[in-house]
């Protein structure tokens, strides 16, 4: 079974969930840049990716998380793709981020992700987002406060180093 795990972990990058992560990171990046049109495009792509994601090949733990959070991720992406108003997109990015994090905590992923927090976002209640780097690039404030926030957690890549 160890040999199987090693083979499986080599195969991580081609897993369909990586496409979902990639689309999410594009949304995060373009919210940081304040580009609502690009955010819409990637939200549409994310929505298609999460809707098209099949549970075949997922572990029991992954399937459970996928079943639990898929709909919430899809709903948030739906709202984001319906507008190019960056402020509205950012409101829905809060739940998108929280649910992506909750789902991906149970997944074996190829990309290390950092769960970051801005205490001022969401009308002072604070809000989280996932990032592929520990460097803070705040998607809730963009150029206004680009580095407001800190890393609260990380989801470590399960990729075996060659």
Determine the pLDDT at residue 3.
43
Q: Residue 8 in contact with residue 160, Cβ under 8 Å?
A: no
Residue by residue, pLDDT tens for the chain (162 residues) are 444 444 444 444 458 899 999 999 999 999 999 999 999 999 999 999 999 999 888 999 999 999 999 999 999 999 999 999 999 999 999 999 999 999 999 999 988 999 999 999 999 999 999 999 999 999 999 999 999 999 999 998 865 443
* pLDDT at position 162: 36
Task: Give the C-alpha separation, 83 to 36, whole Å.
Answer: 8
Helix (H, G, I), strand (E, B) or coil at 3: helix
Token look-up 């829905």 returns 92
pLDDT computed for residue 51 by the predictor: 92
User: What angle in degrees, to the nearest 10, is found between the helix axes of 86-104 and 60-81?
Assistant: 180
Distances (CA, A) of 24 to 1, 9, 73, 125: 33, 22, 10, 22
């Amino acid at each position: 079974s160890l040999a199987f795990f090693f083979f499986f972990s080599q195969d991580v990058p081609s897993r369909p969930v990586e496409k979902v992560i990639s689309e999410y990171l594009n949304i995060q990046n373009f919210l940081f840049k304040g580009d609502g049109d690009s955010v819409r495009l990637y939200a549409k792509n994310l929505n298609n990716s999460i809707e098209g994601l099949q549970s075949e090949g997922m572990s029991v733990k992954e399937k459970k998380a996928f079943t639990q959070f898929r709909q919430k991720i899809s709903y948030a992406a739906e709202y984001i793709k319906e507008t190019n108003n960056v402020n509205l997109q950012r409101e829905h990015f809060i739940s998108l981020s929280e649910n992506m994090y909750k789902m991906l905590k149970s997944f074996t992923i190829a990309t290390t992700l950092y769960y970051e927090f801005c205490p001022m976002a969401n009308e002072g209640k604070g809000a989280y987002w996932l990032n592929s780097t520990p460097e803070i690039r705040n998607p809730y404030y963009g150029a206004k406060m680009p580095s407001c926030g800190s890393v609260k957690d990380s989801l470590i890549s399960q990729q075996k180093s060659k």
